[in-house]
């Protein structure tokens, strides 16, 4: 796949290439799951909110004690704000995260019977919950397929020429018709894993990339630039 070929690629051809990318990454990495540690939907919801602009590794260091102290939605709803802020301080942006998690819990108590909602429409109405977090909860806790567009998903799908957009929501909608719906969650996991172990933001390891032949960015990267280098950086998204 070259940049010239990409310009001539039809929607049908792009969809076929997306399927090949998915199959190749699955063969290369095997089953890849959510990197955040959780045992129920509530824990995943809290962990994913904490993961904003923070690594999953750091979140996984914070959550064991947190999940031991706060076991129900009601526990979070009754949490003391200042105390909670200190408990999650190391994840960064702790004041905003603490406020959102407590507000989120209070809304789940009053509007959802103290349960985590299991639809996208309901989840995105909760404080601190965007489409990425909602899709993460749906896909990993409720087995409802969803595309979790984080910084890795943005960067790699741009490089692959599967989207020209930089907005995560627009990218999600670009990918929906290209990736089989039942694979949305797994596609997200594979892309995120690929971004962590091979397609690095600063210096992608194209020489050892399993989807090199399906990527129109590879030749430009070897010369030190990418064909989509006019697109903005996405450091504002979670880099975990």
- The structure tokens listed for 126 are 């909760």
Q: Which of 48, 132, 159, 220 is catalytic?
A: 132
132 is catalytic: yes
**H or E element that contains 240:** none
**DSSP-H helix ranges across the chain:** 3-8, 11-29, 41-50, 56-69, 73-77, 81-87, 94-111, 120-123, 131-141, 151-159, 168-175, 184-197, 218-222
**H or E element that contains 130:** none
**Alpha carbon distances (Å) from 112 to 74, 103, 118:** 12, 13, 10
SS3 content of the chain, % helix, strand, coil (to 5): 60, 0, 40
Distance of CA 8 to the CA centre of its chain: 30
**H or E element that contains 137:** helix 131-141
In angstroms, the CA 63 to CA 70 distance is: 10
In angstroms, the CA 213 to CA 63 distance is: 40
111 is catalytic: no
Distance of CA 184 to the CA centre of its chain: 11
Q: Which DSSP letter does residue 178 get? A: T
Q: Which of 48, 56, 150, 174 is catalytic?
A: 150
Which residues are catalytic, by number? Answer: 132, 150
């Amino acid at each position: 796949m070259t940049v010239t070929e990409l310009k001539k690629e039809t929607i049908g051809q792009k969809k076929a290439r997306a399927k090949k990318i998915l199959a190749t990454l699955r063969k290369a990495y095997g089953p890849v799951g959510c990197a955040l540690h959780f045992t129920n939907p509530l824990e995943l919801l809290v962990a994913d909110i904490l993961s904003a602009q923070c690594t999953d590794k750091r979140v996984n260091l914070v959550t064991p004690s947190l999940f031991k102290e706060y076991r129900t939605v009601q526990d979070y709803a009754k949490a003391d704000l200042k105390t909670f802020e200190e408990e999650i301080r190391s994840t960064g942006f702790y004041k905003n995260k603490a406020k959102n998690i407590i507000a989120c819990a209070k809304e789940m108590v009053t509007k959802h019977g103290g349960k985590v909602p299991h639809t996208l429409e309901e989840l995105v109405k909760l404080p601190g919950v965007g489409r990425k977090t909602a899709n993460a909860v749906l896909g990993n806790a409720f087995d409802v397929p969803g595309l979790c567009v984080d910084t890795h998903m943005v960067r790699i799908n741009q490089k692959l020429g599967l989207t020209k957009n930089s907005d995560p929501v627009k990218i999600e909608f670009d990918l929906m018709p290209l990736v089989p719906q039942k694979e949305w969650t797994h596609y997200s996991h594979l892309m995120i894993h690929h971004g962590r172990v091979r397609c690095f933001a600063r210096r992608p390891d194209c020489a050892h990339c399993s989807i090199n032949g399906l990527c129109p960015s590879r030749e430009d990267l070897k010369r030190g630039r990418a064909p989509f280098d006019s697109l903005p950086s996405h450091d504002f998204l979670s880099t975990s």
